[in-house]
Structure 1
Amino acid sequence: MKYLFRFLPAGLILLTAACNKNDKDPAPDTTAHEKVFYDWKKLVVGADLSAVNMVQANGGRYEDSGRAKDPYLLFKQYGCNAVRLRLFHNPAAPGGYNAEGYCGLEDVVRSIRRAKTLNMAVNLDFHYSDTWADPGAQIPPAAWAGKPLNVLKDSIYNYTLSVLNHLKALNLVPEMVQVGNETQPGMLLPEGRINNNDFSNLAVLLNSGIKAVRDFSQTSTIKPMIILHPASAQIQQWWFNGIKGAGVTDYDIIGISYYEEWTTVKLDALKTLIGQLKSTFNKQVLVVETNYQWTKASQDGVVYKEPVTINGFAISPDGQLAYHKALTQTIIDGGGMGIMVWEPAWISNAQSWGQELIAFFDFTGKSLPGLQFMHQPYKF
């Protein structure tokens, strides 16, 4: 996930607020609830915390109940049981994510250690790129540029296996592994592109990554569950039928990016979709990315992302909490494995595109009600 924000004139902020005056902005829930802390194997309630190291290095500070806190500990105390982390091949390469190496292997090692110290499960997301891989960009690492499909197949296998072996030597094996990120058009383009519903090249690459994880599991006490993650909800049936027809069947979890304003599958239809995916492909289903805004304008007063009110949930701190609660219950009702919120701790301006609008913290780093969605007493 990387936002492509649309800038709006500051004068539209008040107009937008007026248009949303009838939204459902729930009063703060003062009813005493028993806090429930779930095992991730019963219900994943997780967060992508990939940017935290970068945010903290740039002065980001997190606060809860008037006290500064380590963000990993803070999420754990609110019920977070799984952390998602993206891995870029070489972020310092030309055209890569950044020269400092954030989201490279050394940075990911630091992050996994922070999660594992608190007994949180880890979902390691291989992007197979030096920067963001998503539906708009699946760029091979600079070290693999121009290589033919048969070489890329071996590169994926060797790289995936070497990363996992490195993590095993540090006692940091992830519980889940994503073989690719938002691979809707394919991966390692152009070689791995889906062409006219021909998934064969993509299947070669996916099966190579899958084989690396399965071969690694033969030597590991922790045997990572494999997630395939094409992206939006509305393309799941097409994509998973396509890879099945091309011979990709050995994976454990269907991963969905669920941003309701960008999908035709609205909240009331998500339950049905999850059930259909489970029954059709006999796999678990996990929402690996989602979020919801708590405010309309960033700290500098600029609207980076045009506010979209979904299902009447207000764009407010309490509206954000209400939305995540409703989405989590919908996932459970559909038989889903759980939910991972995308970058809810990205609060500083360190390579930021306005992510602070969807964080679980205000502009000063103070915690917001959204964190509470993780320990709600959901119905099963």
Structure 2
Amino acid sequence: MIKTKLILTIISGIALVFTHTSAFGFAKGADVGWLSEMEYYGTEFYNDAGEEQDVLQILKDHGMDSIRLRVWVNPEAGWNSVDDVIAKAIRAKNAGMRIMIDFHYSDSWADPAKQFKPAAWETYDIDGLMSAVWWHTYDALNAIKNAGITPEWVQVGNETNNGMLWEEGKATNSMQNFAWLINSGHDAAKEVFPNAQVIVHLANCHDNANFRWIFDGITQHGAKYDVIGASAYPTNAAPTAWQTINNQCLANMNDMVSRYNKDVMITEVGAPWDDENAPAIIADMISKVRQVEGGRGLGIFYWEPQASNWNGYTLGAWDPNTGRPTQALDMFLESSSTYPSNRIQSRQSNKCIDVNGAKTANGEDVLQWTCHNNANQQWSFEPVENGYFQIKANHSGLCLDIYAHSTENGGNIVQWSCSGNYNQQFFKEDMGDGYYRLRSRLSDKCIDVNAGGTSNGDSIIQWTCHSNWNQQWKDN
């Protein structure tokens, strides 16, 4: 039996300023290859209200419109076989979701550390492997087509950072062989689904050197593909800060667009379900894909968000203690109400940043006041780019703003209609013990309690950054 892998990747994009000509819009989705196995062993899924619900509906209610499914050739237990993939794909289609098929060309996991040939192909030379790839891809997709499924994307190989089907298809052994194997998968996919976009996928989106090496090599040897796919697991690159990794990923995606004239997408993303930064990491990565030049960032897929410590995997977006989605999944809604809201408390005075009188007009002063639970002290940090945030007041929907774009010490901090201007963008600088400074992108000065005051009503201003406690804040 042919075992295949479906990756449902939803692509097409509208960037912040550019548009991309896609009929379906920016793809936001999930790889749920484990789903049928999890349900077989009794896993139940609950929505935000704690009600048991079909997981695909929960994903849709959190802004997702696409599903990715992996295909293995002859998996030992049958999971991720072509039959298993078809069953999941039918569910996704009936839920109105778009689909990507992801071929691993292996009986089990294929990733940068292992690209093992299926047992049945073990003795094949490169010609035999090219034929096997073509027929496996063709037969699997034909079965999918006969089941009434039309995938938008077909991924040929999974995380092929050094080629696939080792040793013959290992890129360090023969980039030509790797390109030929890609073309075998490409041509078979186009034979069944001429309009499907074929994806070549690498891990470590931040690693521009590896991406250039692979795509320079396969381009030189005539590889055919439509989209460059990438995996992005920012916390796996620690101790490098996740913000740095995300920025490097965006730079790499832009380089891929410029260098090869290809669309790009994140076909896998994830962060630890219990990491307090997970919502910011995911929101920022969604924003990064939308910022790809020319609107050529097609979409982003969370890898196995429904996996709450399933098989020891901890980078899902489900709380294993409650069976409900975490806040990271909310980020796919991309609305301000989905970002975590907190009070911003001064280390100097223990008072909180407050909009004077809870007023909602542009230009109202921002000051410090005894902390309370009203919405004019609730702020959401919404990622923009390069690690910067807009800081939005819950009661008014307006943003923390340096009045009149001042770059001088003492420039007043107010609330104002949110924009893309640098006087509304701030970087959180870690000061230790859970405190941070807020450095302006416009002026390079920091948010400051005027004169180190400790009284209600003391003004919030900007001032040259220093280490005094009146410039240190914590989320509360």
Distance 1:84 1:242, change over 3 A: same
For residues 1-380 of structure 1, the aligned pairs below 5 Å read 41-64=24-47, 65-92=49-76, 99=77, 101-195=78-172, 198-218=174-194, 223-233=195-205, 234=207, 235-248=210-223, 250-263=224-237, 266-295=245-274, 315-316=275-276, 319-335=277-293, 336-347=297-308, 349=310, 352=311, 354-377=312-335
Q: State how far apart, in whole Å, the 2-side matches of 1:50 and 1:213 are.
A: 20
Q: Deviations over 1:248-271 (max 9, x none)?
A: 1x2111000112244587122322
**For residue 128 of structure 1, what is the amino acid of its counterpart?**
Y
Q: TM-score, normalised by structure 2?
A: 0.61
Partner-residue secondary structure (3-state), 2:111? coil
Deviation at 1:67, TM superposition (A): 0.6
Q: State how far apart, in whole Å, the 2-side matches of 1:242 and 1:355 are.
A: 33
Deviation at 1:339, TM superposition (A): 1.0
Q: TM-score, normalised by structure 1?
A: 0.76
- Partner residue in 2 for 1:25: none
Deviation at 1:230, TM superposition (A): 2.3
Deviates most, 327-336 or 201-210: 327-336
Q: Deviations over 1:27-83 (max 9, x none)?
A: xxxxxxxxxxxx983211111111011111111111110210010111012111111
**For residue 54 of structure 1, what is the amino acid of its counterpart?**
E
2:309·2:320 contact (CA, 8 Å) conserved in 1?
Answer: no
Q: State how far apart, in whole Å, the 1-side matches of 2:326 and 2:320 are.
A: 7
Partner-residue secondary structure (3-state), 1:63? coil
Deviation at 1:377, TM superposition (A): 4.1
Q: State how far apart, in whole Å, the 2-side matches of 1:237 and 1:258 are.
A: 17
Deviation at 1:85, TM superposition (A): 0.7
**For residue 200 of structure 1, what is the amino acid of its counterpart?**
Q
2:234·2:271 contact (CA, 8 Å) conserved in 1?
Answer: no
Unaligned runs of 5+ in 1: 1-38, 93-98, 296-314
1:270·1:334 contact (CA, 8 Å) conserved in 2?
Answer: no
Distance 1:195 1:322, change over 3 A: closer
**For residue 224 of structure 1, what is the amino acid of its counterpart?**
A
Q: Deviations over 1:186-236 (max 9, x none)?
A: 11111111126x401111111111111122235xxxx21100012222121
What is the alpha-carbon root mean square deviation over aligned residues? 2.0
Q: Which protein has the larger Cα radius of gyration, Structure 1 or Structure 2?
A: 2
Q: Deviations over 1:333-379 (max 9, x none)?
A: 12421211111111264xx0x22453333333122222211111498
1:153·1:205 contact (CA, 8 Å) conserved in 2?
Answer: yes
Q: Deviations over 1:272-296 (max 9, x none)?
A: 221111111111101111111132x
Partner-residue secondary structure (3-state), 1:294? coil
Partner-residue secondary structure (3-state), 1:183? coil
Partner-residue secondary structure (3-state), 1:67? coil
| Larger RCO (CA under 8 A, 6+ residues apart) | 1
**For residue 364 of structure 1, what is the amino acid of its counterpart?**
T
Partner-residue secondary structure (3-state), 2:230? strand
Distance 1:59 1:138, change over 3 A: same
Q: State how far apart, in whole Å, the 2-side matches of 1:56 and 1:206 are.
A: 34
Unaligned runs of 5+ in 2: 1-21, 337-383, 385-419, 421-476
- Partner residue in 2 for 1:20: none
**For residue 228 of structure 1, what is the amino acid of its counterpart?**
V
Partner-residue secondary structure (3-state), 1:323? helix
Distance 1:252 1:51, change over 3 A: same
Q: State how far apart, in whole Å, the 1-side matches of 2:245 and 2:281 are.
A: 13
Q: State how far apart, in whole Å, the 1-side matches of 2:259 and 2:155 are.
A: 21
Q: State how far apart, in whole Å, the 2-side matches of 1:128 and 1:187 are.
A: 8
**For residue 250 of structure 2, what is the amino acid of its counterpart?**
K
1:270·1:331 contact (CA, 8 Å) conserved in 2?
Answer: no
Q: State how far apart, in whole Å, the 2-side matches of 1:328 and 1:357 are.
A: 16
Distance 1:41 1:276, change over 3 A: farther
Q: State how far apart, in whole Å, the 2-side matches of 1:274 and 1:348 are.
A: 30
